[in-house]
Amino acid sequence: MNNLTRRKLLIAGFSLLVIALIAYGFLPKRQEVDLVIAQRGDFQVTIEEEGRTRLKQRFTVSAPTAGYMRRVDLKVGDAVKKGQHLVILEPLRSPSLDPRSHAQAQLSVSAAQAALEAAIEKERAATSEAEYAEKRLERMTNLFSKGYIAKDQFEQSETETKKARAYKLSAKAAVDMARADLERAKTNLQNFSVPKNIGKQSLIYVNAPVSGSVFRLYRESEGAVNIGEPLMDIGNQKDLEIRAEVLSSDAVKIKKGTPVLFKRWGQEETLQGIVRVVEPAGFTKISSLGVEEQRVLVIVDITTEQDKWQALGDGYRLETHFIIWEGKDILQVPTSALFRQGNQWAVFVAERGKARRRTVEVGQRNGLAAQIISGLSEGEKVVAYPDEAISDGTRIKQRK
Asked if residue 88 lies in contact with residue 218, where contact means CB atoms within 8 angstroms, the answer is no
pLDDT for 237 equals 83
- Confidence grade of residue 141 (pLDDT, cut at 50, 70, 90): confident
pLDDT for 378 equals 93
33-37, 176-180, 197-201, 360-364: lowest mean pLDDT where?
Answer: 197-201
Query: Is the Cα dihedral 67, 72, 76, 82 positive or negative?
Result: negative
Q: How far apart are CA 370 and CA 333, in angstroms?
A: 6
Domain ranges of the chain: 28-45+329-398, 48-55+238-325, 59-92+199-235, 99-189
Mean pLDDT across the chain: 87
**Mean pLDDT, rounded, for 308-331:** 92
pLDDT for 388 equals 86
Looking at the domain that runs over 48-55+238-325, which CATH code has it been given? 2.40.30.170
User: 240-255 burial, b if ≥16 CB within 10 A, otherwise e?
Assistant: bbbebbbeeebbeebe
What are the pLDDT digits (tens) for 15-27? 777 676 665 555 5
Residue 87: count of CB within 10 angstroms of its CB: 24
- Confidence grade of residue 35 (pLDDT, cut at 50, 70, 90): very high
What is the 3-state composition of the chain as percent helix, strand, coil, each rounded to the nearest 5? 30, 40, 30
Q: What is the DSSP letter of 125?
A: H
Q: How far apart are CA 234 and CA 59, in angstroms?
A: 5
- Confidence grade of residue 242 (pLDDT, cut at 50, 70, 90): very high
pLDDT for 145 equals 84
Start-to-end C-alpha separation, the chain: 50
Q: Is the model's pLDDT at 196 over the cut of 70?
A: no
State percent of the chain over pLDDT 90. 48
Q: Is the model's pLDDT at 156 over the cut of 90?
A: no
Q: How far apart are CA 210 and CA 60, in angstroms?
A: 11
Cα–Cα separations (whole angstroms), residue 77 to 82, 134, 233, 239: 16, 79, 11, 15
Residue type, 351: E
33-47, 66-80, 86-100, 268-282: lowest mean pLDDT where?
Answer: 86-100
Q: Distance between alpha carbon 88 and the CA centroid of its chain, in Å?
A: 26
Q: How far apart are CA 279 and CA 281, in angstroms?
A: 6
**Mean pLDDT, rounded, for 211-222:** 91
pLDDT for 20 equals 67
**Mean pLDDT, rounded, for 253-265:** 94
Q: Is the model's pLDDT at 259 over the cut of 70?
A: yes
CA-based angle 337:341:345, to the nearest 5?
Answer: 50
Looking at the domain that runs over 28-45+329-398, which CATH code has it been given? 2.40.420.20
Q: How far apart are CA 134 and CA 136, in angstroms?
A: 5
- Confidence grade of residue 201 (pLDDT, cut at 50, 70, 90): low
- DSSP element (H, E) containing 10: helix 3-26
Q: CATH for 59-92+199-235, among 1.10.357.10, 3.40.50.10420, 3.90.1150.10, 2.40.50.100?
A: 2.40.50.100
